[in-house]
Structure 1
Amino acid sequence: MSCKKPICPIAFPVFDSHCVPCPPRPVNPTKTRKCFENCVPFRVVGNQKGSTIFTAGTSTFPNTIAATVENTSDFLINVIVSFEVGQQTIGIQPHSSLSFVFDDVTQINVFGSNQSGFSDGIFKFDVCYTFEV
């Protein structure tokens, strides 16, 4: 940051007409962290259409999500975790669960493997967003 008028050394009086002190420097940006958690049941019908169980839209704010997906059905459930770049697909066996911690998740979808019926599960998560204020 530069001043329009010269800055005087401390020895000079501040009221000297040719000396103007610089304005105070801006405060360094501070990061704020907001967290929330939830536990929700879900049902996936068939194996063609998935259900979105979490979405952050575009990852404008960096996020960290710790989650567990429980499969309470008799059929395999596929979980697709989408990131800003790429995705990861993980299968959960019947009556099993998957726990994970990922950064910068944009969306989580679940797909069932039962063509004619439905698959049930429980999604528990704790997500934290960090942004500057």
Structure 2
Amino acid sequence: MSTNYPTRAPRHRGLFQQFSPLHLAPAWDQYSVVKARGVRIIALGGYAPYCTSGWVVEQAVGCIELIGAKVAGLGQMLLIGFTLSEQPRPAGFEITDTDAIGTLTMPARCFAACVAIATGSNTHFRIGGDGQLNAIGSDSSLLQLPAPT
């Protein structure tokens, strides 16, 4: 396990300490918890597919787009679609030239509950990995994953 802080010799203290930049970019193969800075919501009739950013939700009754701050030049986003389909698409995660995008497709009956969470003042979301653990929560501590052992 690597650390973000460089190892320094004992003689490098105080004013003589060497400058070493920290690597602050997320490790996308792991999951990152992000504070939502913006939210966009659309309600639909469930008769047609909904497309955004190359992602499609069949028989869409709604979509929530949670937007986080830019990190390492990438915008962070979680797209949550709500469908009447019996076979929703699996969750996913991808990195484009400009964004880190997590996707999540849920049954239509979950739409109102997720809107309530998404419009809260302390909304956070989790994206990364293969996308299977993408999530939304009302507090960042709820979304933390246990450290691998």
Same-fold call, TM cutoff 0.5:
no
**Which structure would you say has the larger RCO, counting Cα contacts within 8 Å and 6 or more residues apart?**
1
Larger radius of gyration, structure 1 or 2? 1
Structure ranking higher in strand proportion: 1
- If the length of structure 2 is used for normalisation, what is the TM-score? 0.27
* More helix as a share of residues: 2
TM-score, normalised by the number of residues in structure 1 = 0.29
